[in-house]
Structure 1
């Protein structure tokens, strides 16, 4: 073994060690343990790509159905706001008892703009309500259909009691009816305060001239509970309406297409079937709607029934059974075109946002 020269040893020594010291002593440590006198911390922030997130979300079927419902609701309410104003006034007993009389009375007292009283809050209400309602209906209907198919494929569980065989099957449950009920419940829970605001602005525009003042006055009158006044009767009235409404539309659409041997409806057929579905559902649930409106705006007239049964009883005592259908003509005048036009706009937007996207 050849010994290394002092120069080579010194070079190796320099490569493998570093010198740390001060005026008192010198310490030699390996370079792996060398302490850096300066260290830099680098922070990187990545701004989220909002546009890409929106594009990704729009690829989902549920979001496109939600957007279709919002657009359909906005376009429908912009056209039919005057009918909604007349209908609400007649139901709660404000002003004339006829459609023409209410129309002329509003024009005389408030001018043409009075026909759109409360329309700003109505638009704010209907856009999320219609979007949530239609998207919930489609989602629940698909989910129920999928669960039924999976249940049938896996064979329904059976129980034998003596000579009796019991088979648990959910084929008797209508996914459309369940979807309709869920749509009404979810949309009501989410958007009920906007319904209260809309009615107050429509009935008493003098006391509630704008949204902010209406919110302040309602809160002073009864706190948070006042904003949700009439929630229970609304849910009770909404359940039979939304269930029958969606069930009728889907059933009539399917039956008509089968009879005509076609795969889809044209726009005029959508309007007619939607209008008939709305008319029938409204007729079935209208007494509950009268009671609901009485409860929601009863405070404005100085008398508010304690519950829905009391409201119905009050109407019958004052006006008889026909009082349960007071404003029914105005309601049908509003509900029928509203239902038909909403389905037409909704199916049209679905064609644009869903069908055409599938071919891209």
Structure 2
């Protein structure tokens, strides 16, 4: 008997309906992984992801000594002066000491920058696209009493949302590497290598030890990341309009990136101090129970100025780091995307 087939096809399987006497047959189709991978490799997201990874790696290779000095000053190890800390590290550990923890720093920064910049670009486009679709549908509004609420969400900044999302996603993904990096930087005797540091943290504090300080990190990351990306995109756009330019040269990108990093770091720096205290506290035998307690402890011991201890070293690190990262990132995007995706 001939069967009348009614095909219902999805991406992964096919259902074939037969007569009452014949049960339905389900044919499983495996996804074309190779094709999906090829499509991703040539996609805009992959180019941005790789550009962020390369930019982060190149920046950290150049600025590792400033990161080492900054971390020691924030957590109160050694000299309180930049020059004094620099000389102390060389005296105790040699020139190699300036790159203490740099291996884990590189392992950390490559996925962090890739995820952060890739997430920022993607979320910014998604929010902008959603706003445009709502606008095309006639700016729908919701009436609540005498109040009309615009559901187009035009008041929301795609840049700010993208910046916040970038900070949250990258932090949740890469925070354990940040914890290990700080332990290696501050105390090489107890934590001589990445693998030993990982095992010791898990043994002493459990897996949760790898996420020490995650809450203050997220709280501090939100204002920093949001302000950082908003400042960069806004200043860059305004400068391009004033100079009637479509693209900026490397020096201009360097300066705009540095200004963005300086502004964001200054606003969120007290939260950074509290975060470092929580992450390193157990090494000194005392760990504040929460971020508020860490801030109170700093104020009690060093006054309000203690909340900005290490700020100068931080700016010396953040400003060139931000500027160089954006300079390399925009350069790599030009190479990898080759003008295939123009905004």
Range class of TM-score, shorter chain = 0.7 to 0.9
Which residue does 2:151 correspond to in 1?
168
The Cα shift of 1:57 comes to: 2.5
The Cα shift of 1:247 comes to: 0.1
Q: Identify which of 116, 126, 140 aligns with 1:133.
A: 116
Q: Name the SS of the counterpart of 1:346 in structure 2.
A: helix
Length-normalised TM-score, structure 2: 0.88
Structure 1 runs (4+) deviating above 6 angstroms are 48-53
Which residue does 1:354 correspond to in 2?
337
Pair 161,327 (structure 1): closer, same or farther in 2 beyond 3 Å? closer
Which residue does 1:328 correspond to in 2?
311
Which residue does 1:94 correspond to in 2?
77
Provide the C-alpha distance between the structure 1 equivalents of 2:244 and 2:157, rounded to a whole number of angstroms.
23
Contact 2:44–2:341, Cα closer than 8 Å, also in 1: no
Pair 108,163 (structure 1): closer, same or farther in 2 beyond 3 Å? closer
Provide the C-alpha distance between the structure 2 equivalents of 1:56 and 1:163, rounded to a whole number of angstroms.
50
Provide the C-alpha distance between the structure 1 equivalents of 2:63 and 2:222, rounded to a whole number of angstroms.
24
Which residue does 2:102 correspond to in 1?
119
Which residue does 2:165 correspond to in 1?
182
Which residue does 1:107 correspond to in 2?
90
The Cα shift of 1:159 comes to: 3.7
What are the Cα deviations for residues 262-284 of structure 1, in whole angstroms up to 9, with x where unaligned? 11211100000000000000000
Q: Identify which of 49, 56, 60 aligns with 1:73.
A: 56
Pair 66,160 (structure 1): closer, same or farther in 2 beyond 3 Å? closer
The Cα shift of 1:285 comes to: 0.1
1:305 maps onto 2:288 in alignment:
yes
Q: Name the SS of the counterpart of 1:200 in structure 2.
A: helix
Which residue does 1:220 correspond to in 2?
203
Pair 142,358 (structure 1): closer, same or farther in 2 beyond 3 Å? closer
The Cα shift of 1:135 comes to: 0.1
Which residue does 2:247 correspond to in 1?
264
Provide the C-alpha distance between the structure 2 equivalents of 1:61 and 1:358, rounded to a whole number of angstroms.
7
1:143 maps onto 2:120 in alignment:
no
Contact 2:273–2:308, Cα closer than 8 Å, also in 1: yes
Provide the C-alpha distance between the structure 2 equivalents of 1:225 and 1:148, rounded to a whole number of angstroms.
39
Query: RMSD in angstroms over aligned alpha carbons?
Result: 1.9
Q: Which runs of 5+ in 1 are unaligned?
A: 1-47
Which residue does 2:256 correspond to in 1?
273
Q: Identify which of 212, 222, 230 aligns with 1:229.
A: 212
Provide the C-alpha distance between the structure 2 equivalents of 1:186 and 1:272, rounded to a whole number of angstroms.
27
Rg (Cα) greater in structure: 1
Pair 205,139 (structure 1): closer, same or farther in 2 beyond 3 Å? same
Provide the C-alpha distance between the structure 1 equivalents of 2:122 and 2:181, rounded to a whole number of angstroms.
28
Which residue does 1:155 correspond to in 2?
138
Q: Which runs of 5+ in 2 are unaligned?
A: 1-30
The Cα shift of 1:167 comes to: 3.3
Provide the C-alpha distance between the structure 2 equivalents of 1:66 and 1:274, rounded to a whole number of angstroms.
19
1:238 maps onto 2:213 in alignment:
no
Pair 151,51 (structure 1): closer, same or farther in 2 beyond 3 Å? closer
Q: Which aligned pairs between 1:282-297 and structure 2 lie closer than 5 A?
A: 282-297=265-280
What are the Cα deviations for residues 287-343 of structure 1, in whole angstroms up to 9, with x where unaligned? 000000000000011110000000000000000000000000000000000000000
Pair 161,102 (structure 1): closer, same or farther in 2 beyond 3 Å? closer
Pair 158,334 (structure 1): closer, same or farther in 2 beyond 3 Å? same
Which residue does 1:8 correspond to in 2?
none
Q: Which aligned pairs between 1:173-212 and structure 2 lie closer than 5 A?
A: 173-212=156-195
Count of residue pairs the alignment pairs up: 312
Provide the C-alpha distance between the structure 2 equivalents of 1:97 and 1:213, rounded to a whole number of angstroms.
29
Provide the C-alpha distance between the structure 2 equivalents of 1:226 and 1:81, rounded to a whole number of angstroms.
25
The Cα shift of 1:217 comes to: 1.1
The Cα shift of 1:155 comes to: 1.6
Provide the C-alpha distance between the structure 1 equivalents of 2:172 and 2:160, rounded to a whole number of angstroms.
19
